[in-house]
Structure 1
């Protein structure tokens, strides 16, 4: 339960509407208010249209269409009195202190005593926002800085003042952590807080150095992006995403608030090129494009890139500098390279890491807080101090000396050691105070990475390891790339099931990869086997998957799946065979085999049929569940969230959803523990299926799609194989129940039949080469 039962967001722009949508994702009714436009017949039109846009925006701000029903539009002239019913009021209007304070005075006149007010400001100090306001307001006020888009960016920077009620802070912290899924990072009331102060410095240095060194946009992003674990947008792509028009104001605000000797000031200069782009309407993705833009000619889209020297857009080149290939995963090779790309990497990243060190003792005493801010707020795989340790602090100091830069005191205190160390199985981080302290974890957080530091696996096999979570619960970790399944992984799972039966009371399926729980079967191995005509190898893989998943379902202990990210194909099927699933809210499940020319063959067809046949309130009889399952599987439907997965019945209504990824493993373990007493495994099932008559009905629907151009010739072949499975085959009779084993046999036969078709192999090959489905 939460102390926050109803919320309000004032400001229905992109950010405010996104915050309101995420409140609705948490199941909280939310009031969205904005101004009344001049001469408007609908006085709440701004908020109302913002909610409508949320339904169409991609990536979707709402986890389910039902979330929009929790959002109520209004305006600050007619509906401000409704704030009296709200427990938390978030202000998300323009970054102007005077306007914010004027709004706070109106809020203060109507809000009830004890309600919480916060600002989503990214640049204005709390001391400025509360200047001249009463004690009652200051007591209940704090800054909650969300990052855009609020649903997907996990960072929430929390800033309090000397008068802020600590109890209110804990209410917000707990709600944002457990219900909004945020990594809450405490920040001092310093300009830019943590993430934007360092992020703005990094981007400004990157742009200035690129312009001065003649580094083109694509090369700059290639150098500063993936090699350093930064999202592929890197710098120039990120500027387009954020909006070029925001950059001058943010930089000016930071420069004006920071001390005269702050290193940011050396780079906080106007950039004429950006000012010209803004004046011409090239403000990034929300405008006519920016450093990158799309040129459309009918159905053809060409990606163009801005030439920083000429100011003209040119066709993208997708450069891959040779030094990046030479460096591989060793950043030191890149940073010590005498090439222009190496010099650029040194100029930007050495200064960025130094600025992070400069912030220690000023913005925070905890380097780990800065690492969290950049990983959760900017999507970096490694925070700046984790990068510092990977590169080597002594090397970074040497690079700074070459650049003529001052060495920050915190870097000097390292004296040859790293920021992070491991002591007695626990990760420690050096503080700005000079003390080593354990990396903090909120109460109720369990991480597999911490368990790995403290011990060894119970069992390690190809593509999978078994870990002891304590209290009689084991964890099977998928360790293959993207959690893919092959014969070795299935064997590791089978062995782990035996070990759990001998020594544990329950099992959790989980891995630390936030991007993917499992991308399904290893298509590369399947393509290799098919090209070699090694049909027995494919048949054995199908049989092993069915046998292992059914053994898991019938094991004498509960099995709980704990997915996050992608759970596709076989990755979805293994979850369908769990006794329960505790899913991260950002779980994208789907039986997508038809997209690569196959049908689910590890029990996915059978399990989805069972779920729709037994769904409360869904029409009974042989055909309705078949038709619905056929629709979902033939379209390779993937859920847009865990909540959406429930609507598709990839997840049961009883399965759990964890909003905070850091709490997923602990929640899954608790779920497993609760199921041990009195546990009884699931037995074999029977199915009443329509047979040839149902197959004919599905064939007619597919033929109509073909005539309409919505299906390709091979879609028809694959859909026919799927229809054959779901209707029970040519011998099925709705008067005679079909055993589950017969349905599994039909799945396997259809899979092998399709594996022999050139069109399916072409789909697999195209997917492996491009990552996109082939419509053949």
Structure 2
């Protein structure tokens, strides 16, 4: 694939967005020069320096690992403009002031490299007006790029062309943003607030207005408009607090200033409660108060009538909860016909959303697909408005919306567009999504970058084949599907809940290995959702335990260990394509694979201590082996314990890497593994890696004995643990479990430097795991986790 080579990026503006865009760039190993104004005191680049330092402290963390902040070079406009010439992409991200941006463009224009792309990260200012301030030679290279906050975690990036933007510029930028930065791109028209903020903020304003109409408190509204409604779990008012009430007000003002002729203009008025909070400095989460306020461990919500905060915790009424669990068509009918205020409120905001999206589709987006994707990726909706409308029955819902408009119940009297009633059953079809401006169904982008996505995210009604119904099926049981896309590499997909590893999953993986070794180049373990595997299925072993106790469990654990050894020593390369979570047994399956291809936002770790157990699928044997390998790589006489202690700590404290980068620091992802920023490219890259390894003459590792730290290492660990126990930092049972972990990773009661095998260490794992199963304290932890989903500390 031909790519525009982005070797270095300049980010102009070290505020919240600029600094966090820089952070995400360096997460993806793209060096950044971060500019801001020269400081009046101290180092001239003090503003950028402070912003870089602050990135290491923020939560949620903008950086995958804090050390990567070193890839950001601080700079200022007085001393360092020449550095712009080294950059292939310049992203302007200063405050949303047209005059400030235009002044900055005049300053930087002479220094931007002739080949470089220049983009403005604005949430709604006119890209065309900004372009007019640039020299004619730069205008073809200029466009809008709108990251959503926080840039590391939010999928959506909107790209906006001007009339003078060269089409290839957006193509280059879309490829870079997709593959290198892992973002999901929507191309928006140059209209106020573009697509996601235009529809999303209008929806939030409608929600505030309808909540007032129906007399609902903010906590009840958030419960109603959160996950159970198919939207972000933070609901409406918590989302506003997280975004920042001042930011929300700015976006609203853009609507007010630029859309006086909009038929929904009256609904863009700044809500009195929002205005009051901003004047009081209660700007949301960053200010410690907004619609909500945290006092100690208590969450309070604003009561507008009292002008004070009161305890939160209001919930949807049971009857509304039941309605929201119904199929979509029935759900909308029941909401519309119900006399319950909460149900009426939900129908009202759905109607308002359908109405708004239909009226504005032609002016803000190329197709209905762009609106639905923008709301999914930018606002955390499970479905966009058009998908939901289509699933519920297009013509029926359209009739209901029209009736409400005619009855004066809607936010605007604007009629639905004619195309809504042309006999259609929706706006998404196999040939594409409806474009009112083009009066046809528009197919998805055919850019080469999307050839790397075997199963890209799709909209309802597009006719896309589900991944687990694709390819050629080679084997299937109730919890694993074995299949191939190309006839060259086998894919094993775990289909059990949370992809928990049960005896049936082990059977499926072994069958996949048999098939792969019989005539394929490799095996990829991949599933199409945000879980690689949450670990071993303890519930599946409960009947065995109840019948035969730990003695009955031991053979099942050995089967699991033997299966993972089979993965490690397979004649074909096994590649674990990891996405979402890979915990416990899922982590162990991955570390016994020949290679890992890991989505950037993947959580990896050995977490068995949370249920009072030790890892028993070879995780501790892996730690011991890796310690020996790292020790010998540095110095044949190196102290193995120095390498063991970090692995021990990670397992004993159940440390989880909260990104692929952090998982690499913990040792669960190796330097030779591949980190993939975009989740939908994971399968493509994993298959290509398997083929490349096979083409390079892959041979399984040779089984070797390796040295361990022995009883001296165990004694050192236990002394430290005793201090922690005696100081009240860990319980006696924590001490016991951690001592057993130390026993395995140090190789048991042997001399330091003794040579052992993986099977020997796995036998120790198995012995300790089974003994813990019969320990009352561990049983309390297991039952607590199974019943509440939360760890029990005892």
> What TM-score do you get using the length of structure 1 for normalisation?
0.93
Partners of 2:439 and 2:536 lie apart in 1 by: 49
Calculate the aligned-residue CA RMSD, in Å: 2.4
Match of 1:9 among 8, 11, 16: 11
Once the two structures are superposed, what CA deviation does each residue of 1:115-160 show, in whole Å capped at 9, x if it has no partner?
A: 2221100111112212354312312211111111111112111111
Query: Is residue 681 of structure 1 aligned with residue 700 of structure 2?
Result: yes
Taking the TM superposition and a 5 Å limit, the aligned residue runs for 1:520-539 are 520-525=535-540, 534-536=549-551, 538-539=553-554
Partners of 1:541 and 1:304 lie apart in 2 by: 49
Match of 2:534 among 493, 513, 519: 519
Once the two structures are superposed, what CA deviation does each residue of 1:748-768 show, in whole Å capped at 9, x if it has no partner?
A: 111111111222222233334
Once the two structures are superposed, what CA deviation does each residue of 1:231-270 show, in whole Å capped at 9, x if it has no partner?
A: 211111110000111222211212332362433x241112
Query: Is residue 304 of structure 1 aligned with residue 300 of structure 2?
Result: yes
Match for residue 710 of structure 1? Answer: 729
SS at match of 1:562: strand
Match for residue 197 of structure 1? Answer: 198
Cα deviation, residue 326, structure 1: 4.2
2:623, 2:745 within 8 Å by CA — same for their partners in 1? no
Match of 2:417 among 391, 403, 409: 409
Structure 1 residues 383 and 544, CA gap change in structure 2 (3 angstroms): farther
Taking the TM superposition and a 5 Å limit, the aligned residue runs for 1:96-107 are 96-107=97-108
Match for residue 647 of structure 2? Answer: 629
SS at match of 2:137: helix
Taking the TM superposition and a 5 Å limit, the aligned residue runs for 1:121-132 are 121-132=122-133
SS at match of 2:582: strand
Cα deviation, residue 736, structure 1: 4.1
Partners of 2:426 and 2:491 lie apart in 1 by: 31
Once the two structures are superposed, what CA deviation does each residue of 1:348-387 show, in whole Å capped at 9, x if it has no partner?
A: 1222133223333222232222222122222222222222
Partners of 1:278 and 1:532 lie apart in 2 by: 64
SS at match of 2:362: coil
Structure 1 residues 437 and 95, CA gap change in structure 2 (3 angstroms): closer
Match for residue 26 of structure 2? Answer: 24
Cα deviation, residue 334, structure 1: 3.9
Match for residue 503 of structure 2? Answer: 487
1:217, 1:308 within 8 Å by CA — same for their partners in 2? no
Once the two structures are superposed, what CA deviation does each residue of 1:7-57 show, in whole Å capped at 9, x if it has no partner?
A: 11111111110011112112222111222344x223322211111110111
Once the two structures are superposed, what CA deviation does each residue of 1:571-592 show, in whole Å capped at 9, x if it has no partner?
A: 1111011111111111111111
Match of 1:460 among 465, 476, 479: 476
Structure 1 residues 30 and 667, CA gap change in structure 2 (3 angstroms): same
2:25, 2:181 within 8 Å by CA — same for their partners in 1? yes
Q: Give the length in aligned residue pairs.
A: 764
Cα deviation, residue 735, structure 1: 5.5
Taking the TM superposition and a 5 Å limit, the aligned residue runs for 1:336-415 are 336-337=334-335, 338=338, 339-404=340-405, 405=410, 408-409=416-417, 412=420, 415=423
Taking the TM superposition and a 5 Å limit, the aligned residue runs for 1:74-223 are 74-223=75-224
Structure 1 residues 774 and 685, CA gap change in structure 2 (3 angstroms): farther
Query: Is residue 617 of structure 1 aligned with residue 634 of structure 2?
Result: yes
Cα deviation, residue 97, structure 1: 0.7
2:109, 2:135 within 8 Å by CA — same for their partners in 1? no
Match for residue 756 of structure 2? Answer: 738
User: Which 10-residue stretch deviates more, 482-491 or 636-645?
Assistant: 482-491
Match of 2:684 among 653, 657, 666: 666
Cα deviation, residue 320, structure 1: 4.0
User: Which 10-residue stretch deviates more, 250-259 or 236-245?
Assistant: 250-259
Taking the TM superposition and a 5 Å limit, the aligned residue runs for 1:281-296 are 281-296=281-296
Structure 1 residues 480 and 428, CA gap change in structure 2 (3 angstroms): farther
User: Which 10-residue stretch deviates more, 273-282 or 620-629?
Assistant: 620-629
Cα deviation, residue 569, structure 1: 0.6
Structure 1 residues 647 and 109, CA gap change in structure 2 (3 angstroms): same
Query: Is residue 594 of structure 1 aligned with residue 609 of structure 2?
Result: yes
Structure 1 residues 86 and 394, CA gap change in structure 2 (3 angstroms): same
SS at match of 2:777: helix
1:420, 1:430 within 8 Å by CA — same for their partners in 2? yes
Cα deviation, residue 737, structure 1: 1.8
Partners of 1:93 and 1:755 lie apart in 2 by: 58
SS at match of 2:56: helix
Cα deviation, residue 188, structure 1: 1.3
**For structure 2, which runs of at least 5 residues remain unmatched after alignment?**
457-464
Partners of 2:37 and 2:112 lie apart in 1 by: 18
**For structure 1, which runs of at least 5 residues remain unmatched after alignment?**
none
Cα deviation, residue 403, structure 1: 2.2
1:22, 1:61 within 8 Å by CA — same for their partners in 2? yes
1:451, 1:469 within 8 Å by CA — same for their partners in 2? no
Structure 1 residues 666 and 359, CA gap change in structure 2 (3 angstroms): farther
Partners of 2:21 and 2:48 lie apart in 1 by: 13
Structure 1 residues 538 and 396, CA gap change in structure 2 (3 angstroms): farther
Once the two structures are superposed, what CA deviation does each residue of 1:335-354 show, in whole Å capped at 9, x if it has no partner?
A: 32312221111111222133
Cα deviation, residue 304, structure 1: 1.2
Cα deviation, residue 689, structure 1: 2.0
